[in-house]
Amino acid sequence: MSPPVPLDGTTLAVGPSNAGKTRLTAQALDRWLDAHGPDGCVVLDFAPAIERDGEILGGPLTQFTTVPDRAYHGVVDAHAPRSEGDTDAEALALAAANTAAAVDRLDAAPVEPRAVFVNDATIALQSDRAPTERLTGYCDRADCSVVNAFESDELGVDNPVSENERQALERLRAWADRVVELP
């Protein structure tokens, strides 16, 4: 189990598939809820679940915790663009659908969050890096933001989805007060 992240400021947890990013975010959410309750708590869950070589990769925060009804829970039924798209154009189209759905969830979120927890942030940023500042700007309104993101070359590097993701990660790293790198 990873050490707990602080429940103030902004934390970005990064790592490859199945490194514990979602579990770490769920643990931070549980600690926030225990200390502060669900009012003003925002959970944005963008993670797809995919099967590769018989192993489930990724998945929602709810595999590790329960999001209370009084918290805002914006869920995207996300695609895994690099796994589902047969061409770069198909992968970008799937990524664009993810971005549009994520922006819709962000637009529907409470205007004044107290805490924001984002699972698989870069799913929302793989087709267009522009929403990165929208997401970080929203997180900056809260006392506590814990964001996790995939960071690895395991799904390829020479495609537009991976390039957009890499550039979004650079922006997220520069924004966060602290970065937790999971092996």
Mean pLDDT by 10 residues, the chain (183 residues): 85 94 96 97 91 75 96 94 91 95 96 97 88 95 97 74 92 97 93
Residue 86's Cβ-count burial label (10 Å; 0-12, 13-18, 19+) is exposed
What the block records as the tokens of 73 is 């829970």
H/E element holding 50?
A: strand 49-52
The packing angle between helices 88-108 and 131-140, to 10°, is: 30
In a domain, 19, yes or no: yes
In a domain, 81, yes or no: yes
In 10 A of CB 149, how many CB atoms? 25
In a domain, 176, yes or no: yes
Closest CA to 90 of 76, 99, 105, 79: 79
Predicted confidence at residue 56, as pLDDT, reads 66
Predicted confidence at residue 83, as pLDDT, reads 85
Predicted confidence at residue 104, as pLDDT, reads 96
In a domain, 4, yes or no: no
The boundaries of the domain holding residue 84 are 9-181
In a domain, 138, yes or no: yes
**Model pTM score:** 0.94
In a domain, 128, yes or no: yes
Tell me how many domains the chain contains: 1
In a domain, 132, yes or no: yes
Predicted confidence at residue 139, as pLDDT, reads 98
Predicted confidence at residue 155, as pLDDT, reads 60
Q: What is the CATH number of the domain that holds 125?
A: 3.40.50.300
In a domain, 2, yes or no: no
Per-residue CA distances from 16 to 86, 107, 156, 183 (Å) = 22, 28, 12, 7
Contacts of 161 (CB under 8 A, 6+ apart): 81, 82, 85, 88, 91, 92, 95, 126, 127
49: β partners? 58
